[in-house]
Amino acid sequence: MGQEATLVIVKPDGLIKSLTGDVLSRLSKTGLKIIGAKVLEVTPELAHEHYRHLKDKPFYGELIKYISGFLHGENRVMAMVYYGKDAISKVREIAGSTNPEEAEPVSIRGAYGRILTTGLYENVIHASSSTQEAEREIKLWFEPREIVIELYPAKDAVNPQTKKVWL
């Protein structure tokens, strides 16, 4: 695989537990470049759009409450775009399996994740799982000017304050 980008989100439990520094340290072992990073509040609209492919799952309602902060009284998340060779698989290996109980204990999810009594996996970080998913997610979470390289084609916006929008 060549150079690719992947979206990482430190979810509300990661911020509440002050895990952002540790997540960044662990991900730095990949040698990948951070090409975008910000803290933002997750609106319900963004949450639904991000997880739209899971809307028929039994845990969907809890998942939306989780990512948009209702489970933790905290709707801040930290979003990062990592870029480099095999970025998607390198980040997912350090993240660990989706189910924290099955995740390697040395992975982020294995070390800090848990299963809630509702059955939801509270697993600290999101990481894109394919190049198509990464592109959709990065375009959803970031504007072109927030990323330091020309990652995907963009054009000048009608609104001059926005400067550029994804094509």
The residues annotated with a catalytic role in the active site are 126
Site for ligand DAT in 120-139 (CB under 6 A): 120-121, 123, 126, 129
Which residue of the chain is nearest ligand DAT when measured via CB? 98
Q: Nearer to ligand DAT by C-beta: 105 or 119?
A: 119
CA atoms within 13 A on the CB side of 92: 15
Q: Phi/psi of residue 129, each to 5°? A: -115, 0
How many residues bind ligand DAT, per CB under 6 A? 10
Give the number of other Cβ atoms within 10 Å of residue 90's Cβ: 20
What does R_g of the chain's alpha carbons equal in angstroms?
16
Q: How many Å apart are CA 118 and CA 126, to the nearest integer?
A: 19
Q: Phi/psi of residue 99, each to 5°? A: -85, 115
Smallest distance from the beta carbon of 60 to Mg ion, in angstroms? 13
Alpha carbon separation from 108 to 101, 123, 130, 156 (Å, rounded): 12, 8, 19, 39
Choose the one of Mg ion, ligand DAT, none that binds residue 121, judging by a C-beta under 5 to 8 angstroms depending on kind: ligand DAT
Q: Nearest Cα to 67, choosing from 75, 56, 59?
A: 75
Q: Nearer to ligand DAT by C-beta: 6 or 123?
A: 123
Paired sense of beta strands 33-41 and 76-85, if any: antiparallel
Choose the one of ligand DAT, Mg ion, none that binds residue 123, judging by a C-beta under 5 to 8 angstroms depending on kind: ligand DAT
Per-residue contact track with ligand DAT, 94 to 113, x per CB under 6 A? ----x---------------
Site for Mg ion in 113-142 (CB under 5 A): 129
Choose the one of ligand DAT, Mg ion, none that binds residue 63, judging by a C-beta under 5 to 8 angstroms depending on kind: ligand DAT
Site for Mg ion, rule CB under 5 A: 129
Site for ligand DAT, rule CB under 6 A: 54, 59, 63, 98, 119-121, 123, 126, 129
